Amino acid sequence: MRASITRLAWVMPEGTYHKALKAKAEVIEGNINDLLWDLAIYKYALQRCIDALWELDRIPKKSQAHQLFYSVLRSYGFRAHVARNIYSIALALVKSAKENGGRKPVIKKMCARLDYQDGRVDLGNEVVRVILRNKWYSLKLVHRKEYIERFRGLRWKEVHVKYGNGKLYVSIVFEVRYAPYTPRGSLAFDVNLRHIAVYDGSNVRRYGTRFIDALSKRARAEELQRKHPKRWRCNRRILNRIRSLHRKAKNLVVDWCRKFAKELVLKTKKHGYAIVLEDLEYLRENVVKKEDKIVWKLSIFAYRKLQEAVISKVIEYNVPVVFVNPRRTSSTCPRCGAKLSYVYRLAICRSCRFIVDRDTVGAMNIWIRFIYAHAGELGSPLSAPVMKDEARRNGRIQG
């Protein structure tokens, strides 16, 4: 789903997407220690396969991997289908590491992936049953009932059982069909820490965020670290205080993003519009320019969470989404394409005398890029942008 560098805008394609239910779990049938032992053997077995594959000059085919590993894995007690899964995962991990010129993958977490042959999902009773070797375990999901209800009726694909920090977790991957409608218009939004500006082609509306509250909590945590530079790591009380501040900041952001995303997506659907988002992949290049690291870190975190929340809601409600490259969205005049000058937060175009505040400029430019996207048809991936950046900057199209 990644956009290429030259693209100004791209449409999130129709298709099948994955959505995961994540919850803490308790073993209600079977022994937790037996389960942890099964998970540990799974981890070692997976690593063994990876080690062996890594030594080979050529990555074998799946049938060859079967020859290599199947009977060994069966001898560790794994079910036939679990054994197949283990070498398939190892194969995929080694392949992607070698292709990307990475190092040999090292499995650190105790995590097993199971599919329909080795798992049962019963959302009505909030229970998942899994088997790795010779014992079935029933795991009760510990989460709010409304959260689990949201996944009722969806087709599940995989169950992941994970153990870390003394806790057992289950995530169930569901398949969701995403078929966006053809939009009648679009809503573009520009996000900053204080508020979100939403532009619909003629008017701007602002919504206050809670990111600043989260920022102040994070700032307080960092202040505590600075105040007790040596002590904070080993002093329980200070450490707990710092952790709690970070947790609160995170929850503030995540909760607010979910709430806002739902509101926004429902409203967009009501009007039959599309949502236009900045593609966050492009934001990274700004990192070095930012002096205030803590603000930057929180911004990235908040934007990412907001985007995740919007995407998850958009899939649920079949609302179309267009991603745009945010490059120069706050420095280009949306009217004539010249470079803007700033007086505090006020953007001024010396060329066409357009005057507007910074957030509105961002939202307007993002909205304009949506129009470029629709030079192609919605639902099909977009190709090259209609205009080149240089042409826009000069305010005319060069031949």
| Least distance in angstroms from the C-beta of 333 to Zn ion | 3
235-246 b/e with 16+ CB inside 10 Å = b? Answer: eeebbeebeebb
Q: Which is nearer to Zn ion, 313 or 392 (CB)?
A: 392
Residue whose CB is less far from Zn ion, 171 or 331:
331
Q: Which is nearer to Zn ion, 120 or 335 (CB)?
A: 335
DSSP 91-141: HHHHHHHHHTT-PPP---SEEEEE-TTTEEEETTTTEEEEESSS-EEEEEE
Compare residues 268 and 365 and give the one whose CB is closer to Zn ion. Answer: 365
Size of the chain, expressed as the number of residues it contains: 399
Which residues, 6 or more positions from 155, have their beta carbon under 8 angstroms from its beta carbon? 174, 175
Where on the chain is the footprint of Zn ion (CB under 5 A)? 333, 335-336, 338, 349, 351-352, 354
Q: Are 13 and 379 in contact (CB under 8 A)?
A: yes
| Residue owning tokens 């000069």 | 394
69: which residues sit within 8 A by CB, 6+ positions away?
A: 49, 52, 83, 86, 87, 90
Three-state DSSP class for residue 175: strand
Closest separation in Å from C-beta 337 to Zn ion:
7
Q: Which is nearer to Zn ion, 126 or 389 (CB)?
A: 389
Q: How far is the CB of 277 from Zn ion (least distance, A)?
A: 25
CA angle 62, 68, 74 (to 5 degrees): 100
Question: For Zn ion, which is the closer residue by CB, 259 or 396?
Answer: 396
Rounded Cα distance, 363 and 151, in Å: 34
Look at residues 171, 161, 43 and name the one whose alpha carbon lies nearest to residue 105: 43
CB of 384 to Zn ion, least distance (A): 25
β-pair type (321-324, 273-278): parallel
Please state the closest distance from residue 354 (CB atom) to Zn ion, in A: 4
Which residues sit opposite 119 in a β-bridge? 130
CB of 350 to Zn ion, least distance (A): 8
Could you tell me if 252 and 217 are in contact, meaning their C-beta atoms sit under 8 angstroms apart? yes
Residue 352 or 384 with smaller CB distance to Zn ion: 352
Residues 205/191, Cβ–Cβ less than 8 Å: no
CB of 289 to Zn ion, least distance (A): 24
Phi and psi for 174 in degrees, rounded to 5?
A: -110, 155
Helix (H) or strand (E) holding 294: helix 293-317
Identify which of residues 183 and 337 has a Cβ nearer to Zn ion in the complex.
Answer: 337
Nearer Cβ to Zn ion (48/392): 392
Give the integer Cα–Cα distance in Å for 326 and 281: 10
The bridge status of strand 119-122 relative to strand 321-324 is unpaired
Contact yes or no for 173/158 (Cβ under 8 A): yes
Closer CB to Zn ion, 88 or 351, in the complex: 351
Closest distance between Zn ion and the C-beta of residue 371, in Å? 17
Q: From the CB of 393, what's the least distance to Zn ion, in Å?
A: 11
CB of 355 to Zn ion, least distance (A): 10
